[in-house]
């Protein structure tokens, strides 16, 4: 008489079939991982360019409101000063380290997402006293001593590391 396990007609999957399935799934997951990482970098660059445009528009609006008839900019309410780049303002809070109101605090823009919240970059703006132009630059999220790009335009966003 045959035992119960010998009567079964379906033998299940062979070891080779299971291994082939695992290899195929591994290849598919590798393809998806590469695609997603490229999409994340692209999204960071697009967000940086959008933030850059917002900051540029906000600085232009602020400068339009604070430019005197002779073309000089009225910085009388700001206390920070250095020789070549006179003013540097926070874009992430309403008040900077010197207790000056920032573009956010003055109502020219919404604050950018807080640093350390997963952002791959930070933006900073300053005023070039020699050329009388605002400068917006892209930096590392952890320090402004590491600058991404050198054009001073939104194309600097493409220098964000992957």
Domain for residue 134, yes or no? yes
Contact indicator for 131, 140 with CB cutoff of 8 Å? no
What does the pLDDT look like over 45-97, one tens digit per residue? 999 999 999 988 888 888 888 777 887 777 665 555 443 344 556 677 777 77
- When the pLDDT of each residue in the chain is averaged and rounded to a whole number, the result is 79
With cut-offs at 50, 70 and 90, classify the pLDDT of residue 9: low
pLDDT score for 86: 45
The residue segments making up the domain with residue 53 are: 19-159
pLDDT at 82: 40
What confidence tier does 1 reach under pLDDT thresholds 50, 70, 90?
low
Q: Is residue 10 situated within a structural domain?
A: no
Look at residue 8 and tell me if it is in a domain. Answer: no
Query: Is residue 63, in this structure, part of any structural domain at all?
Result: yes
Please tell me which residue, 160 or 107, carries the higher pLDDT value: 160
Most confident segment among 9-13, 63-67, 112-116: 63-67
Tokens 């933006």 -> residue: 123
Residue 4 counted as domain residue:
no
pLDDT at 116: 65
Half-sphere exposure for 140 (CA within 13 Å, toward CB): 6
In the three-class reduction of DSSP (H, G, I as helix; E, B as strand; rest coil), residue 40 is classed as helix
Structure tokens, 32: 């998806």
Q: Write down how long the chain is.
A: 162
Total domains, the chain: 1
Residue 71 resides in a domain:
yes
Could you tell me the two tokens for 108? Answer: 């020219």
Query: What's the whole-model pTM score?
Result: 0.68
- The verdict on residue 126 lying in a domain is yes
DSSP string, 59-98: HHHHHHHHB-TTS-B--TT-----SSEEEEE-SSSSB-TT
């Amino acid at each position: 008489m045959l035992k119960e396990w010998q009567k079964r007609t379906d033998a299940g999957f062979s070891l080779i079939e299971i291994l082939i399935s695992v290899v195929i799934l591994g290849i598919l997951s590798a393809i998806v991982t590469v695609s997603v990482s490229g999409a994340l970098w692209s999204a960071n660059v697009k967000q940086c360019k959008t933030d850059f445009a917002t900051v540029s528009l906000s600085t232009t609006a602020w400068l339009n409101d604070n430019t005197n008839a002779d073309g000089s900019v009225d910085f009388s309410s700001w206390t920070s000063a250095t020789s070549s780049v006179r003013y540097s303002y926070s874009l992430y809070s309403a008040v900077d380290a010197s207790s000056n109101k920032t573009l956010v605090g003055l109502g020219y823009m919404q604050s950018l997402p807080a640093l350390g919240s997963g952002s791959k970059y930070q933006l900073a703006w300053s005023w070039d006293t020699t050329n009388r132009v605002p400068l917006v630059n892209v930096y590392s999220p952890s320090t402004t001593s590491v600058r991404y790009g050198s054009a001073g335009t939104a194309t600097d966003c493409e220098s964000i590391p992957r």
